[in-house]
Structure 1
């Protein structure tokens, strides 16, 4: 295959003829390709799958992480151990393309690999690697670990994605109409494009930006002098950078730069669009911010047999299938923890990235109610936790480990490791209740509940991210009604959410499952139906063309 004058290797649908290059630090396309950490990757993977289904003229640009994000294993006492294992992928093609970019005033060799569309049914994906014998060891490590904890390495990774990705596109001769940045990690591409197009206006014509961060503190910022020293700005002086980006202090804010270089930006839920406009409204010169709600690929995630039983109105097969899915997932629980869960028992699952604001352990804030719920024999409950904390986020790791120690006291509580695409799907199939309790409004989208609903789980959530657009309380899921969070302390917010959650579990959700299962089944079906089209990533991929690219 000739990669020097590259075109997407399938007939594109006319309405999606515009050429797009989609940049992301991580892509969760399929379990065997471990180059993702969490939600951002799950989203990007679903986007590529839908772009392929819809025959869009889009290619992905990412990085081939030699050790992935990290492998989640256990210490002797079952607590979390972070390990880094080399990954090898025989299904990636070597494009034969090799080129250099400057990082830290030093030429670094880059090699491009290719994931062909038919391998995993995704749009074409190009992955960059610096792990080459031509590079010194420091340069080789740029593509070793996703989101490396070393600041200089991380900045180098951003340069690789942005500048390296933009240069790769020139090497391919792809000439995209649109450069789409999924989060601001790749904004160094704007400085490369500025050298290429010779005008900010031209760069703006080509650049669109998706922000995933609902709070200012969460946006990546790095010392502007460090960025300059590392060749982030493609030869521009700091004064020129300040003039171009309007950034006057010493912290280079990647998202702010992206909002000023893009012609259009979007938040990832209607609520997040509002939060983002509010957050950035005092900054001059930023592009309009709209919103396109995140979604997940139905064809990849959904349990087709449950959908078929639902369409056939075959409740026996529907219940039987859900029970089978639970039973199969509980084999993993038994294998990892030695606990045998019962598929007839109401199962609550909390599984996603471990981060403080997501409050993994919220149910344990009131141990009296927690114990009472777990001890009930009349209406028993099982709980599973899983998820990966960032490898140097010590508060999140200790939260994970505390849950591991806690789980040892109960035969109906389990904490699992290895939360990647494969386990994620199994746990959504295991769940009767998919618990999601971030502090409002800190979750930009929180897409895991979408794929949970596609597998017969009922969402129970705080009213954040995509949830206000989805949950019709008591009809297709359950939502903790918003309080006046803005005027509450964090402690008061936690207290309110905790008590409301327990009131709803004790008085509504658990009794409903055991006493009115026909109603419960109807809630599952309503959720499956409502998530099917509105939150399938085909809708989202279409909206990007419709709203952002044209």
Structure 2
């Protein structure tokens, strides 16, 4: 609710009206949404919200219902909860998701706020998350990078050309660097967990067997994250017979290390942890499936530097971004993940493995079964054979090439440096520039824009559209290559001229990648209380289409259409 406080401060201290204060606050605000999962978007019943916020409406210069409507998708709807995310969207000029796919999902999720526009037309953008190189990259890799890339590499982290120098390294150096960190992980696990396991797990023999069985020569696959149910930690355990065969091959040993925490109120997540722990205690999985409790940053740092593969299996498209895999690939750890979140952008063939982002089944249980079978198949037929295709020097040169590809082709695109560059370019700079314009000269531009919006709202309901000329497609066939003239008139506009009219063409073919085409009409003349518009449209595509005309407010100082989201459709 920081924007509520900022508005209240401007009303109180600068004596601004609410509409002007809102213009000022919005022009300097960005809402970064971090999840499409409903539990991540707090909503409050009006009674509970009123208990704490009743006095705040007056401080902002609003009635109670006006404050409630700022948090409602459907303003004026009694009983609709106050959504913190809707409030953020209504009080921020810009909104962004944290990956390309999450930006798309967020446009669809927030579309009900800005009625009259299709999701793909919304201003909601994205900046894909990145991770801080110096924090999450092991010192062994940092030393190797400095020697290979040069002493100034930390100042140019998002330069792909620099990272390509990893190919000049000897395979032995890459392999040994990873093996050092793998051995450190194993020693860390033994050192951290031995005492507690002996104290709490009741069977010293089993504990020592587990600890002694952690094998640096095995392919170690890590899974560490919040145990929310959409993360699907259970997928690997869908077919225990198949899993048993994978982990009990003496010639190709494979071990899985799981860790994570569930929210105290998340019974489903807690159940997943309980299930994994139970399986890990079965004789055939003892020392092959290992669950490490007390997940924290220290353990996370060891895992993302020491395992061979980082496994991620979220339900599409609920992984907003994910960053653990980004930390892993900077440390020579390969990703095996669903093409969701950041990995949809990051995946490069020959630098990791991916499960398709496309759903085969609407039924989630069936989709889970298919994905589990795909994981088993890829482990059995691709990943495990590649890892154990070792040469006379004791390592797989093909595996090392995957590591080099991952570092060269993926790492530079997922650093904090690149992320901050994107935020500056896409959001921060334009917010800073526009905010400075609006507050200059005692908020002159903000006051002007707020007054214009009030004038537009005053006449909006009365505006009518009259067709002056329009092709009649019930009589004349629509033909590709032909020009069609459209002329319309807006009435009841008073003395205002800031309105746009556009022809919206909707392709009715579901698979078409360009479903919406928009052509704005030109304002050709102004008469008392009326505006005239004209368009000559050339048909360029065949197919099945629907047509409509859309009216919207238009002003050069609006950052985007949704800043004053008034829309009228005429069919």
* Structure 2 partner of 1:288: 123
Distance in 2 (alpha carbons) for counterparts of 1:497 and 1:214: 21
* Structure 2 partner of 1:325: 181
Task: Tell me: CA distance 1:531–1:421, structure 2 relative to 1, closer, same or farther (3 Å).
Answer: farther
* Structure 2 partner of 1:259: 89
Residue 526 of structure 1 pairs with residue 400 of structure 2: no
CA offsets per residue over residues 123-142 of structure 1, 9 Å max, x none? Answer: xxxxxxxxxxxxxxxxxxxx
* Structure 2 partner of 1:375: 248
What SS does the corresponding residue of 1:231 show, helix, strand or coil? helix
Q: Superposition pairs for residues 293-304 of structure 1, below 5 Å?
A: 293-304=128-139
What SS does the corresponding residue of 1:348 show, helix, strand or coil? strand
* Structure 1 partner of 2:548: none
Residue 422 of structure 1 pairs with residue 295 of structure 2: no
Distance in 1 (alpha carbons) for counterparts of 2:170 and 2:275: 43
* Structure 2 partner of 1:273: 103
Structure 2 unpaired stretches of 5+: 149-165, 198-206, 391-395, 431-571
Distance in 2 (alpha carbons) for counterparts of 1:501 and 1:291: 30
Task: Give the one of 216, 235, 238 matched to 1:362.
Answer: 235
Deviation at 1:404, TM superposition (A): 1.7
* Structure 2 partner of 1:507: 381
Structure 1 unpaired stretches of 5+: 1-161, 164-186
Residue 496 of structure 1 pairs with residue 361 of structure 2: no
What SS does the corresponding residue of 2:86 show, helix, strand or coil? helix
State which drifts further: 451-460 or 389-398: 389-398
Distance in 2 (alpha carbons) for counterparts of 1:304 and 1:331: 17
Deviation at 1:334, TM superposition (A): 2.2
| Conservation of the 8 A alpha-carbon contact between 1:214 and 1:444 | yes
* Structure 2 partner of 1:238: 64
Distance in 2 (alpha carbons) for counterparts of 1:448 and 1:351: 8
Residue 455 of structure 1 pairs with residue 331 of structure 2: yes
Task: Tell me: CA distance 1:433–1:244, structure 2 relative to 1, closer, same or farther (3 Å).
Answer: closer
Task: Tell me: CA distance 1:188–1:386, structure 2 relative to 1, closer, same or farther (3 Å).
Answer: farther
Residue 225 of structure 1 pairs with residue 99 of structure 2: no
Deviation at 1:243, TM superposition (A): 4.3
| Conservation of the 8 A alpha-carbon contact between 2:262 and 2:270 | yes
Task: Tell me: CA distance 1:376–1:445, structure 2 relative to 1, closer, same or farther (3 Å).
Answer: same
Task: Tell me: CA distance 1:227–1:328, structure 2 relative to 1, closer, same or farther (3 Å).
Answer: same
Task: Give the one of 19, 25, 29 matched to 1:203.
Answer: 25
Distance in 2 (alpha carbons) for counterparts of 1:326 and 1:343: 7
Deviation at 1:479, TM superposition (A): 0.2
* Structure 2 partner of 1:114: none
Deviation at 1:227, TM superposition (A): 1.6
- TM-score by length of structure 2 reads 0.60
Which entry has the higher C-alpha Rg, 1 or 2? 2
Deviation at 1:402, TM superposition (A): 2.0
CA offsets per residue over residues 258-293 of structure 1, 9 Å max, x none? Answer: 111110010100011111112222322797200100
Distance in 1 (alpha carbons) for counterparts of 2:239 and 2:8: 53
Distance in 1 (alpha carbons) for counterparts of 2:54 and 2:287: 53
CA offsets per residue over residues 411-448 of structure 1, 9 Å max, x none? Answer: 22211122222111100122111000001111110111
Provide the aligned length of Structure 1 versus Structure 2. Answer: 364
Distance in 2 (alpha carbons) for counterparts of 1:190 and 1:401: 45
- TM-score by length of structure 1 reads 0.63
What SS does the corresponding residue of 1:288 show, helix, strand or coil? coil
| Conservation of the 8 A alpha-carbon contact between 2:167 and 2:404 | no
What SS does the corresponding residue of 1:230 show, helix, strand or coil? helix
Distance in 1 (alpha carbons) for counterparts of 2:358 and 2:420: 34
Distance in 2 (alpha carbons) for counterparts of 1:393 and 1:315: 45
Distance in 1 (alpha carbons) for counterparts of 2:54 and 2:335: 43
Task: Tell me: CA distance 1:428–1:243, structure 2 relative to 1, closer, same or farther (3 Å).
Answer: closer
CA offsets per residue over residues 87-136 of structure 1, 9 Å max, x none? Answer: xxxxxxxxxxxxxxxxxxxxxxxxxxxxxxxxxxxxxxxxxxxxxxxxxx
